[in-house]
Amino acid sequence: MTEQASRSAPLAAALLGAADLLAAVLSGRTLDAALAETALTKTPLTGPLRAAVMDLAYSTLRSFGREDFFLAQLMNKPVADVQIRCLLLITLNRLEARPEHAYAIVDQAVTVASRLAAGNFKGLVNGVLRNFLRRQDELLARAKENPVAHHQHPAWWITRLKKDHPHHWQAILAANNTHPPMTLRVNQRRITSADFSAQLTAAGLTTHAVGDAAWQLDKPVPIEQIPGFHEGLCSVQDAGAQRAALLLDVHPGQRVLDACAAPGGKAAHLLELADLQLLALDADAARAARITENLVRLGLLSDNVRVCTGDARTPTIWWNGQPFDRILADVPCSASGVVRRHPDAKWLRRVSDIEGFAVTQVRILDALWHTLASGGKMLYATCSLFAAENEEQVAAFIGRHADAQRLAIDGAPSVQLLPHADHDGFFYALLQKN
Ligand SMILES: C[S@@+](CC[C@H](N)C(=O)[O-])C[C@H]1O[C@@H](n2cnc3c(N)ncnc32)[C@H](O)[C@@H]1O
């Protein structure tokens, strides 16, 4: 928990709220969906309590493999009550983060347990947590020997990264367990990068440049504290994601398709770079609405821009037959490159999901290729680190399409950005139609 959150939210309430969120995730919901559901309850999470609950839930999901390992070592058989199990997992995470308050934390967890399941598990919660404190050194040593506990990722994920990134898998896993950076993209239609940087400084925010129009905050802050955000001076977008629009090499007047566009981060960047005839497509209507919201905020919506709900695999429904000069295919993927932003994803995904994404990617790529003009360029983009969604996908595409050639990026056939202090993990390959 951050200092501010821990000072102003009662710990027992935060433990309970976080345990409920974790229980929702373990039942298969995403953390975002579980959080959205809390807004619909009689007691929606707000203010410092919401911040404290999110902090505990994110932190526990980041290290879930470790807390789950501890719990298995501390109990002869798994606890039957899901809420109590989650309370234990959340409290173990908190005990590791704040050892100096260990006994107060255990007391608060026992208080919560006394209010759940008719208080039947109060003694068990007390016993397990006190046992953890007694055996902590031994358990920490054992956790080092267990890959899931040590790397805090599922075993299949670790195996896949080892295969796909034999020299970098450990650094990737370590980076995935860190807090993500917050980066802003300057809307250069409205303000120069230098002037915006001066506004950030005047607002007391310290930053460093991670691209021509990209400023990374030394410490993430709520959006309300970003000068000019609501007036459209900037967007929040990772520096790695900011490469996409630049790589697509757009020029004024071109017909451009952003085929998987929501919530519109890259579509907006494309429009900031040039006056385009842009079609921003997304299969999810609710998410497509966010494209329009973002373009309006940034002052980029015009008669030349169309936002449309549609499936990129079936152009006959939404394409008027006029070929595109540029296509951005920012396809749905495992999101394994941005897992530090969505730590629930690593525990919710299954190996079979990767095959499912790969099949969808093939279908999207093949369908979009027919809509690209001769000489036109298509950028294939994922926020994945898995070769099956990246290099192997592009190699197979080139094999299927004799009229496709790769254009080099930074002198290489493709770019695989690995998660790093300055950016998330992304993959880019630029294809041209002969
Ligand atoms: C990686 S996100 C796109 C992020 C977006 N390009 C941006 O920069 O803000 C992938 C998007 O693909 C959309 N999507 C998934 N399947 C699709 C399909 N078959 N056709 C079109 N969009 C699809 C999802 O709804 C999601 O919004």
| Interface predicted TM-score of the whole assembly (ipTM), two decimals | 0.99
Q: Do 3-152 and 238-433 fold alike per CATH?
A: no
Residue 36, CA atoms < 13 Å, CB-side half-sphere:
5
The reply to whether ligand 1 has any atom less than 6 angstroms from the CB of 67 is no
pLDDT at position 254, please?
Answer: 98
pLDDT in tens, 117-131: 999 999 999 999 999
pLDDT tens by residue, 372-390? 999 999 999 999 999 999 9
Q: Is 311 annotated as a binding residue?
A: yes
From 273, 282, 298, 309, the mutation candidate for ligand 1 (largest count of ligand atoms within 8 A of CB) is 282
- Interval between CA 365 and ligand 1 midpoint (Å): 13
By percentage, how much of the chain surpasses pLDDT 70?
98
Atom of ligand 1 nearest to the CA of 282: 22
DSSP class of residue 337? G
Beta-ladder partners of 257: 279, 327
Distance (Å, whole) CA 247 – CA 83: 47
Return the pLDDT at 9: 64
- Distance (Å, rounded) from C-alpha 55 to C-alpha 44? 16
Ligand 1 neighbour 283 (Cβ under 6 A): yes
Closest CA to 405 of 377, 383, 432, 426: 432
* Burial group, residue 286, by CB count within 10 angstroms (0-12, 13-18, 19+): exposed
DSSP H or E stretch at residue 390: none
234 is catalytic: no
Catalytic residue of the set 86, 234, 333, 383: 383
| Ligand 1 contacts CB of residue 312 (under 6 A) | yes
Q: What angle do the packed helices 64-74 and 82-97 form, to 10 degrees?
A: 110
Q: Tell whether 265 is in a known binding site.
A: yes
Q: How much distance in Å is there from the Cα of 355 to the middle of ligand 1? A: 17
Start-to-end CA distance of the chain, whole Å, equals: 55
Query: Listing from the earlier edge strand, what are the strands of the sheet with 234-236?
Result: 207-211, 214-217, 182-186, 234-236
pLDDT recorded at residue 103: 94
* CA-based torsion, 417, 418, 422, 424: positive or negative: positive
Report the CATH fold assignment for 238-433.
Rossmann fold (3.40.50)
In short, whether 248's Cβ falls inside 6 Å of ligand 1 is no
Residue that wins the pLDDT comparison between 322 and 47: 322
Alpha-carbon span 259 to 310, nearest angstrom: 9
Domain segments of the chain as ranges: 3-152, 238-433
Query: Looking at per-residue confidence, does 47 or 140 come out higher?
Result: 140
Which 3 state secondary structure label does DSSP give 226?
coil
Q: What is the pTM of this model?
A: 0.94
| CATH fold label, 3-152 | N-utilizing Substance Protein B Homolog; Chain A (1.10.940)
90 pocket-lining for ligand 1 (C-beta < 6 Å): no
Which atom, in ligand 1's list, is nearest to the CA of 263? Answer: 9
- 421 has pLDDT over 90: yes
